[in-house]
Amino acid sequence: MIQIWGRNNSHNVQKVLWFCGEIGLEFKREDAGLEFGRVRDADMLARNPNAVIPTIEDDGFVIWESNVILRHLARKYGGADFYPESVEMRTEVERWMDWQQTTLLSPMTTIFWGRARAPDKFPKSEIDEAVQKAERLWQIVSQRLEGRSWVAGEHLSLAEVSIGALAWRWFSLVSEKERAPNDNLEDWFKALCARPAYKEHVMAVPLK
Ligand SMILES: N[C@@H](CCC(=O)N[C@@H](CS)C(=O)NCC(=O)O)C(=O)O
C-alpha cells in the first residue's frame, strides 16, 4: 500500500488523495506540514529535502512534487483515461498540469491565504488584484471547455485533478459578484462536485 505524508488541507496533497479515490488505490496517510511539523525531521528530509508536502513512498520508491506523483500513480495504477497514451493527448494533459503550477497557483495562493488561512495578513488591494488575475485565468479554462465536458479528452484526466482542487477554493472563496457569469466553468465544476472522491478529499475538508 502506498504511504502519503501531508496534511489533508493542502491542495497539493488533496490532488493525490482525490486521485487515489478516483482510481480506488488504497493508501496510508500521515499528517505533516504546518502545525503538524514532521517535514524537517531527519527521516522526512531524507525523503524530501525540500521540506514540503506531499511526499509518497510506493514500494520503497520515494516521490515528491505533487504533479509528478500524479503521473507516477496514473502510469502505474490509473489507466489511459487519466493520462492518455497518445503523444498529443498526453501533452495536452501535461500542459494544463504545468499551467496549474506555474500560472494559476500564484493568484489562487494569495486568495486562499488572504481569505482563508491568514485573513489579517494580506492587504485587501493585493487580494482584489489576485481575484482579477485569477478571473482571467479561469476564463481560459472556460474557453477550453467550450463544447466539451473535460479539459483534455473525453474523460476526467490528470488535467482536472491538478486544477480541480483550486476550483473548489475559487468557488468557495470568491463571491458570485466578483466572478463573471461563466456557464462552461460552472457546469464543469458541478461535474467535479458530483464525484464521490472529490467530495471526500476536497469539498469535505475545511478551508484553512
Ligand atoms: N511544487 C510542490 C509544492 C509543495 C508545497 O509547496 N507544498 C506546500 C503545501 S500545498 C507545503 O509543503 N507547505 C509547507 C507546509 O505545509 O509545511 C508540489 O507540487 O508538491
What pLDDT digit, counting tens, does each position of 97-116 carry? 999 999 999 999 999 999 99
Segments of the chain assigned to CATH 1.20.1050.10: 87-202
In the predicted model, is pLDDT for residue 92 greater than 90?
A: yes
pLDDT tens for each residue of 9-43: 999 999 999 999 999 999 999 999 999 999 999 99
Say which residue, 121 or 59, is predicted with more confidence: 59
Any ligand 1 atom below 6 A from CB of 51: no
d(C-alpha 65, C-alpha 72), whole Å: 11
Any ligand 1 atom below 6 A from CB of 162: no
Task: Give me the mean pLDDT over the 38-53 stretch.
Answer: 98
Do 90 and 156 form a contact (C-beta atoms < 8 A)?
no
For the whole prediction, is pTM greater than 0.75?
yes
- Among residues 86, 79, 64, the alpha carbon closest in space to that of 156 is found at 79
Cβ neighbours around 90 below 10 Å, total: 18
CATH of domain 2-78: 3.40.30.10
Q: Which residue has the CA at smallest separation from atom 11 of ligand 1?
A: 52
Residue 81: predicted pLDDT: 92
Residue 147 Cα to ligand 1 midpoint, Å, equals 34
Cβ neighbours around 25 below 10 Å, total: 16
Segments of the chain assigned to CATH 3.40.30.10: 2-78
Residue 19 Cα to ligand 1 midpoint, Å, equals 17
In the predicted model, is pLDDT for residue 66 greater than 90?
A: yes
d(C-alpha 142, C-alpha 127), whole Å: 22
Q: Does domain 87-202 have CATH number 3.30.950.10?
A: no
Within the chain, residue ranges assigned H as helices are 11-23, 42-47, 66-73, 87-99, 105-112, 124-144, 158-173, 183-193, 196-198
Instruction: Assign 22 to helix, strand or coil.
Output: helix
At 120, the pLDDT band (50, 70, 90 cuts) reads confident
Any ligand 1 atom below 6 A from CB of 48: no
Residue 14 Cα to ligand 1 midpoint, Å, equals 11
